[in-house]
Amino acid sequence: MHSESEQEAIQEKLEQLRQVKEGILTHQELANLITQRRVKWIKEHLKEMLLKYKGLSPEGQAYRIIYFDHMGINPEHSKMVRVSPTKIKIKSNNFCPYLEACQKLSLDTKTVCKEIGEQSIKKMIELINPNLKFSRNYANIRPHNGVCEECFELKD
């Protein structure tokens, strides 16, 4: 059973994705709206977040700011593993309103996350540190797999 705030988030995503499915919005238009909202949040909170995570690597800072502070993910549902001195891999099985909405609307998360969600994460990371790169392993994404797998990497 979902909490009231989770239900509200699912309803919001259902409405957004219905508009795309019905041709009211394009994938890109919805991606732009989500990016605008997330960029606004980052700009309002970045200074305090960077202070909060001072001393962490840039990729560690981005992970915590985006996943824990912005998305409100419970750290028990998202694990970070360092795979190189400049790259972290994140495996998450957290509550995700997009996953829930996609399942209800028979949409594929591989398409929705790539075409609608990825742009906003890339922009958030760019604002946190322009030398960071985001990638998602679309072979390991829910519900096709038990976790969603993403990487943050410091560019050369």
Q: Report pLDDT digits (tens) over 25-36.
A: 999 999 999 999
Integer Cα distance of 43 and 37 in angstroms: 10
| pLDDT for position 1 | 82
Phi, psi of 56 (to 5 degrees): -85, 160
Domain count, the chain: 1
Secondary structure (3-state) at 134: strand
Tell me, letter by letter, the H, E, C secondary structure of 72-141: CCCHHHEEEEEEECCEEEEEECCCCHHHHHHHHHCCCHHHHHHHHHHHHHHHHHHHHCCCEEEEEECCCC
The Cα–Cα gap between 77 and 98 comes to 16
Please give the model's pTM, rounded to 2 decimal places: 0.94
Which pLDDT value is given to residue 118? 97
* CA–CA distance, 106 with 17 (Å, rounded to integer): 11
User: In which residue ranges of the chain is pLDDT below 70?
Assistant: none
Side chain identity at 83, as an amino acid letter? V
Residues counted in the chain: 156
Q: Which pair of tokens denotes residue 8?
A: 């509200």
CATH number at residue 127: 3.30.1380.20
Q: State the residue range of the domain holding 39.
A: 4-154
pLDDT for 79: 97
Quick check: 150 and 124 in contact, CB under 8 A? no
